[in-house]
């Protein structure tokens, strides 16, 4: 591929060069991740156990041992609405920081929903529609996943019903409106729709909700109706695999300008944008073709990798999902209300947890004030207003770039700017008016939630 001029700012991959396969990291790993277990029997689950929740095509991807899976033509057609996404060289931020480092960011905010999430919502809606499913249920925290799934469901003519964490439902009326524009039905969670939700509301009518509770409600509704399935926006193997189109494109784009990354950083909520960016680079690293340091960045208020334990735990609060071996703060953990709603999840993708245990990636946590300070620097130089979640990746990028300034190293840093913050201006307002605070997470709060984790290890 032709090299771009030296003074490039964005590296655009031609549509004809868009990857046509997703990458599955599992066959390339030195050891396989531990299997999910049935919540009742504690035996490894089989495809049939997941059939009430997901279509068979998705289940087969979840357990696939193939290194590559073809992206269906009908999915590529929808991807082309915004893909390939641009890779930017952050020249203005580099100048502000006076760093010898080269900073690159892959921008996923160009999708219709404004984040990386449609990379998986589109194939998930497609496979469900193919298998005759007429309705999808899901949860949403910040509203990003709910809007991505609403958009995707509309593309293939199926219904979408979303349980939005009550605190976010009240704080972000425009995310709800966006889901409704795409034809979805939205409930605050806990909701009056499920018995579980009604029980929680009886205890506390102003219950703020949590992702774990919203997952329980969406799962309950899906298993009740044979024509309804559930869709998850992060954590699972197939979701991370759908997101690898980010890293596959970034590999090609960096090659166009003759660069190889020394450091990759990504924010981790459930691990999907991080996995999507990093897994193709990890493949290259495992094959000895490059040697980047790969770093997860999580919020100090929800430090799943850095302070959680590697244990079998439930994905939801009610304990309905299979038990998965992952880094967890305990399925009853309710994080403080930081603005990065998408990073407020008690668990971490089993695949990301596994490679962290294997020492293939590292992890740090950063408090939200430093993240918003970094986001303001970024917005005032690069222009884009980041979503609260990737402000963590930007803060870590700035830490690395300033370390390069100290040491004089000209490292190449790559990160994912996985969404824009146009629906998060209240968070910026909070920061700029001086009202934002950092939360002190007490170890006792983690210990309390960990006490509810089943003892299987």
Ligand X SMILES: *Cc1c(COP(=O)(O)O)cnc(C)c1O
SS3 assignment, position 128? helix
Report the number of secondary-structure helices (H) and strands (E) in the chain: 19, 15
Please pick, from the candidates 165, 200, 267, 363, the single residue that binds ligand X as defined by CB under 6 A. Answer: 267
Would you count residue 298 as binding ligand X (CB under 6 A)?
no
273 Cβ contact list (under 8 Å, min separation 6)? 108, 116, 243, 246, 266, 267, 390, 416, 418
Binders in 90-129 for ligand X, by CB under 6 A: 115, 117
- 387 lies in the site for ligand X, by CB under 6 A: yes
Dist. CA 333–CA 22, nearest whole Å = 33
Instruction: Indicate whether 268 belongs to the interface with ligand X (CB under 6 A).
Output: yes
* Rounded CA separation 167/454 (Å): 28
Do the Cβ atoms of 336 and 299 come closer than 8 Å?
no
CA 22/CA 70 separation, integer angstroms: 7
- Would you say 117 or 295 has its CB closer to ligand X? 117
Count of residues binding ligand X (CB under 6 A)?
20
Measured between alpha carbons, how far is residue 28 from residues 64, 68, 120, 280, 290 in Å? 12, 11, 22, 11, 15
x-or-dash string of contact with ligand X, 45-74, rule CB under 6 A: ------------------------------
Which of these segments, 20-28, 224-232, 270-278, 288-296, binds ligand X (CB under 6 A)? Answer: 270-278
Interface residue with ligand X among 144, 191, 332, 415 (CB under 6 A) is: 144
372 touches ligand X by CB under 6 A? no
User: What is the Cα–Cα distance from 450 to 323, expressed in whole angstroms?
Assistant: 14
- Interface segment toward ligand X; rule CB under 6 A; list 58-66, 88-96, 368-376, 385-393: 385-393
270 binds ligand X (CB under 6 A): yes
The interface mask with ligand X, positions 9-48, x = CB under 6 A, is ----------------------------------------
| 278 lies in the binding site for ligand X (CB under 6 A) | no
Nearer to ligand X, 264 or 418 (CB): 418
Of the candidates 390, 395, 396, 453, which one interacts with ligand X according to CB under 6 A? Answer: 390
Among 201, 251, 419, 446, binds ligand X (CB under 6 A): 419
CB of 256 to ligand X, least distance (A): 25
Distance (Å, rounded) from C-alpha 204 to C-alpha 198?
10
DSSP reduced 3-state for 268 = coil
CB of 279 to ligand X, least distance (A): 13
CB of 225 to ligand X, least distance (A): 26
Q: Determine, following the binding rule CB under 6 A, whether residue 238 of this chain makes contact with ligand X.
A: no
Residue with Cβ nearer ligand X (101 or 393): 393
- In the bound state with ligand X, the residue whose beta carbon lies nearer, of 257 and 416, is 416
Residue (228 or 278) nearer to ligand X, CB: 278
Distance CA 249, CA 13 (A): 7
CB 132 within 8 A of CB 225: no
Going from the C-alpha of 346 to that of each of 78, 122, 303, 329, 443, the distances in angstroms are 32, 25, 9, 5, 14
End-to-end CA distance of the chain: 50
| β-strand partners of 176 | none
Tell me if 389 contacts ligand X by CB under 6 A. Answer: yes
Interaction between residue 418 and ligand X (CB under 6 A): yes
Task: Answer yes or no whether residue 190 interacts with ligand X by CB under 6 A.
Answer: no
**147 scored as a contact of ligand X (CB under 6 A):** no
Element (H, E) at 375: helix 368-382
Q: What's the chain's length in residues?
A: 457
Q: Contact between 194 and ligand X (CB under 6 A)?
A: no
Residues of this chain that bind ligand X (CB under 6 A): 115, 117, 144-145, 234, 267-274, 342-343, 387, 389-390, 418-419
């Amino acid at each position: 591929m032709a090299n771009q001029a030296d003074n490039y700012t964005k590296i655009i991959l031609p549509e004809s060069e868009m990857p046509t396969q997703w990458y599955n990291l599992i066959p390339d790993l030195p050891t396989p991740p531990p299997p999910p277990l049935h919540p009742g029997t504690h035996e490894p689950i089989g495809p049939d156990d997941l059939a009430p929740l997901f279509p068979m095509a998705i289940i087969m991807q979840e357990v696939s041992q193939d290194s590559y899976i073809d992206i269906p033509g009908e999915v590529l057609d929808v991807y082309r609405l915004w893909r390939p996404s641009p890779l930017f060289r952050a020249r203005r931020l580099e100048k502000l920081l006076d760093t010898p480092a080269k900073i690159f960011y892959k921008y996923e905010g160009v999708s219709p929903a404004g984040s990386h999430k449609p990379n998986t919502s589109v194939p998930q809606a497609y496979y469900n529609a193919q298998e005759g499913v007429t309705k999808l249920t899901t949860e949403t925290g910040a509203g990003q996943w709910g809007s991505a799934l609403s958009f995707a469901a509309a593309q293939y003519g199926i219904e979408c019903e979303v349980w939005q964490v009550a605190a976010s439902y009240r704080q972000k009326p425009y995310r709800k409106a966006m889901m409704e524009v795409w034809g979805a039905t939205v409930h605050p969670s806990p909701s009056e729709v499920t018995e579980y939700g009604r029980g929680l509301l009886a205890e506390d009518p102003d219950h703020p909700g949590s992702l774990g509770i919203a997952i329980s409600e969406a799962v309950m509704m899906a298993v009740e109706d044979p024509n309804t399935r559930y869709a998850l926006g992060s954590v699972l193997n197939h979701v991370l695999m759908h997101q690898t189109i980010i890293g596959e494109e970034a590999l090609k784009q960096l090659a166009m300008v003759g660069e190889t990354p020394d450091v990759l950083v990504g924010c981790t909520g459930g691990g999907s944008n991080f996995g999507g960016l990093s897994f193709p680079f990890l493949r290259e690293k495992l094959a000895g073709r490059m040697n980047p340091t790969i770093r997860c960045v999580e919020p100090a208020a929800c430090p799943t990798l850095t302070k959680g334990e590697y244990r079998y735990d439930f994905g939801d609060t009610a304990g309905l999902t299979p038990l998965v071996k992952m880094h967890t703060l305990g399925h009853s953990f309710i994080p403080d209300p930081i603005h990065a709603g998408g990073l407020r999840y008690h668990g971490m993708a089993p695949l990301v947890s596994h490679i962290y245990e294997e020492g293939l990636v590292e992890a740090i946590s950063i408090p939200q004030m430093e993240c918003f300070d970094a986001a303001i620097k970024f917005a005032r130089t690069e222009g884009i207003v980041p979503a609260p979640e990737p402000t963590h990746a930007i803060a870590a990028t700035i830490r690395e770039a300033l370390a390069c300034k100290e040491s004089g190293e000209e490292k190449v840093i790559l990160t994912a700017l996985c969404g824009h913050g146009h629906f998060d201006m209240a968070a910026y307002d909070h920061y700029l008016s001086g009202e934002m605070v950092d939360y002190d997470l007490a170890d006792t709060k983690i210990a309390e939630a960990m006490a509810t984790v089943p003892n299987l290890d």
